[in-house]
Structure formats: structure tokens, C-alpha cells
Structure 1
Amino acid sequence: MKIHPSELYFYHSSHQPIDKQTKAYAKSLANFVNEIDVVREKMTATQWDQILNMLGLRPKDLLNRAHPDYQAMIAGKEWDEESWLNILVKFPHLIKSPIAIYRNKAILCKTPTDILKLD
């Protein structure tokens, strides 16, 4: 995955209100925001792995554990690393917060203003 240093990459779900607010802050940081709606655009396990490495997080850390789909299909089962990546691929709507990558730094934006930490 090539990332241009002057572009801000914004991985989000267009269905989440926090994502829309965070996107507004993203546009104040960079002239060009490359938006990737993870629900509409198919991401690969390799792409998720690279993003997770930049974030320093595990796949499980990105997921909304309170979501009914998580509770019904994922909770209480044993998963290996590859399986967790495949969960991100198959259920991107479970990602709890948008992810921003800018100038080779990545952040999971738990609040809209978290994205400002990239500046």
C-alpha cells in the first residue's frame, strides 16, 4: 500500500455520525483527503495488516464489541491472527472509529478531534 506523505488517508464508514464529524476536521489538516469508505470499498487482509502495524493495534482493538453482529458471530470464539484480519475484511461495519493516516502516522479517531494529533 503506497501512501503519499502529503495526502491524508481517511478510512471510515459513511453510516457513522462520528465519521462525518471527523472528516470535517480531516479536511482542515490536508489539502487532499483520500476517503476510503470501508463498507463500500473492499479492503484486503494485507491492507488491514499494514494499517494495524501503523496503528500498533490488534484487529480486535478496531471492533465495536457492543455491536449485535459482533456478539452473535465473533464473541466467545477463539480466533488466530489471520482469522481476525478476515473478520475485518468480512465485517468492516464493525469498525468502531475512523482511521486516519497522514505523514506516515496513523491514528484511530475515537473522538472527532483525535485526528488533530496528526498535525
Structure 2
Amino acid sequence: MKTHPAEILLYYNPQSVRARKVLALARGIAANVKEVEYHKTPLTATMWYQLLAMLNLRPKDLLNKSKSYYQENIKGRDFDAEGWLHILMKNPDLIKAPIAVRGSKAILCNNPNDILQLQ
């Protein structure tokens, strides 16, 4: 899941204000930004595992626990890694922040300025 050093791969939800800010900053630091809207282009389990390894995170670490779907259907339940990944893949609205990849480094952009770590 490496990218060219001059390119940023951005997994995001374009409906999110934070994601649009991350995109604007990404365009300022990279010659090429490849946008992947995870609602339109779902990632495979293998791609998610690669991305999670780059982020050094677990699937449940990407979930926005304040969303009503999470509160009503997931809160208080425990799953193995595969179960959490299934939830992540079936509910991309629960992904809490854009994910940016440049070269072999990936960042979960909880704050728009986090993208600047990829400069």
C-alpha cells in the first residue's frame, strides 16, 4: 500500500468538513493527491489490514464511538480483530477521521494539521 513519495493517497468522506480541510492541506504539500472516497470505493480486508499495520492501530481504533449507530449497536460488545474489521468495512460512516498515506507512512488525521506530518 505504498505510494510514490510525491503523492498522497487520502481515504476520506467528502461530506466531512474536517476531511475537506485535510484535502486542502494535502494539495498544498503534495504534487499529486489521489482521493479515495471510502463510501464509493470500499477497501478490501487485505487493504484494511495493510493500512492498519501502517497506522499501527486496531480496527476499533478508527471508529467514532460517539455516532448513534455505534452507541445503539456496538457499544459494550466485544469482537475479535476480524469482527471489528467487518464492522469497519460495513459501516464506513463510523470511520472517525481521514486517513492519509505518503510513501510508507500513514496518518489518521484527527486534526486537519495532522496531514502536515507527511511533508
Give deviations 1:9-46, integer Å, cap 9, x for gaps. 00001111100001000001111111011112121111
DSSP 3-state at the match of 2:57:
coil
Q: 1:66: which partner in 2?
A: 66
DSSP 3-state at the match of 1:72:
helix
2:9 is the alignment partner of 1:15: no
- Return the offset for 1:4: 3.1
Q: 1:3: which partner in 2?
A: 3
Q: Flag structure 1 segments of 5+ consecutive residues without an equivalent.
A: none
What is the CA–CA distance in structure 1 between the aligned matches of 2:109 and 2:35, rounded to whole Å? 14
> What is the 5 A alignment of 1:1-119?
1=1, 3-119=3-119
Please tell me the residue identity of whatever aligns with 1:105.
Answer: K
**Post-superposition, which runs of at least 4 consecutive aligned residues in structure 1 deviate over 4 A?**
none
- Return the offset for 1:74: 1.3
Aligned identity (percent) is 46
Q: Flag structure 2 segments of 5+ consecutive residues without an equivalent.
A: none
TM-score relative to the length of structure 2 = 0.94
TM-score relative to the length of structure 1 = 0.94
Q: CA 1:101 to 1:2, structure 2 compared with 1: closer, same or farther past 3 Å?
A: closer
RMSD: 1.1
